[in-house]
Amino acid sequence: MKAERNYAKVGYSMIVVAASLTIIAILGLAIGEDVLFADNIQRANTAHFNECKANDFSTEDCL
């Protein structure tokens, strides 16, 4: 029997892994200055929700 070779699949997988790591690195460089980027977004959304809750969700932007 002839041994199967999956070199192409392994090669494509390595390309996908390298591409995903490159995207992560570019994203890290893009938001590198603001290390609390996600935290700031979450705090802003929480503050907006608390304002809407205080107004009983009656304003236009809270719908």
Q: Could you tell me where the DSSP H helices lie in 1-63?
A: 7-30, 37-54
28 found inside a domain: yes
Number of domains making up the chain: 1
Question: Can you give the pLDDT at residue 9?
Answer: 84
In a domain, 47, yes or no: yes
Q: What is the C-alpha separation between 42 and 31, in angstroms, rounded?
A: 15
Tell me, what's the pLDDT at 1?
A: 63
Residue 1 resides in a domain = no
In a domain, 21, yes or no: yes
**Sign of the torsion formed by the C-alpha atoms of 56, 60, 61 and 63:** positive
The percentage of residues in the chain with a pLDDT greater than 70, rounded to a whole number, is: 98
pLDDT in tens, 35-54: 888 899 999 999 999 999 99
Establish if 39 belongs to a structural domain: yes
Contact (Cβ atoms closer than 8 angstroms) between residue 46 and residue 53: no
Average pLDDT over the chain, rounded to an integer? 89
pLDDT value at residue 14: 96
The tokens for 40 are 């700031």
Percent of the chain residues past pLDDT 90, beyond the cut: 52
| Containing structural domain, residue 22 | 7-62
